[in-house]
Amino acid sequence: MSIKDITIVITSFKSEKKIKKCLNSIDKECKVINIENSNNLNYREDIEKEFNNVKCILSGENIGYGRANNIGLKEVKTKYALILNPDTELFTNTLKNFLIAAKENPDAAIIGPNIREDKKEENFTSTEEIKKLTLLKTDVVKGYAMFLNLSHFEEVGFFDEKFFIYLEEIDLCRRVLKKNKKIYWSPNILIYHEGGRSHESSIDDEIELSRNWHWMWSSFYYNKKYRGFIISFFIILPKLLSAIFKVVIYSVFVNRKKKAIYSQRVSGLINSMIGKESWYRPKI
How confident is residue 128, by pLDDT bands cut at 50, 70 and 90?
Answer: very low
Class of domain 3-193: alpha beta
Task: Dump pLDDT digits (tens) for 1-14.
Answer: 789 999 999 999 98
User: Residue range 256-265: average pLDDT?
Assistant: 96
Find all residues with CB under 8 Å of 95, minimum gap 6, and list them: 3, 6, 26, 27, 30, 82
Q: Report d(CA 191, CA 8) in Å as an integer.
A: 14
User: Residue range 152-172: average pLDDT?
Assistant: 97
How confident is residue 66, by pLDDT bands cut at 50, 70 and 90?
Answer: very high
Give the pLDDT score at 283. Answer: 82
Find all residues with CB under 8 Å of 164, minimum gap 6, and list them: 64, 65, 66, 214, 217, 218, 278, 280
Q: Report d(CA 273, CA 180) in Å as an integer.
A: 31
For residue 126, pLDDT over 50 is answered with no
Give the pLDDT score at 195. Answer: 72
Chain-centroid distance of CA 192 in Å reads 14
DSSP state of 40: -
Query: How many other CB atoms are found less than 10 A from the CB of residue 149?
Result: 19
Task: Delimit the domains of the chain by residue range.
Answer: 3-193, 201-273
Share of the chain above pLDDT 90, in %: 84
Task: Dump pLDDT digits (tens) for 217-235.
Answer: 999 999 999 999 999 999 9
Return the ∠ at Cα 63 (arms to 243 and 200), rounded to 5°.
75
Give the pLDDT score at 75. Answer: 97
Give the pLDDT score at 204. Answer: 82
pTM of the predicted structure, to 2 decimals: 0.92
User: Residue range 129-150: average pLDDT?
Assistant: 89
For residue 130, pLDDT over 80 is answered with no
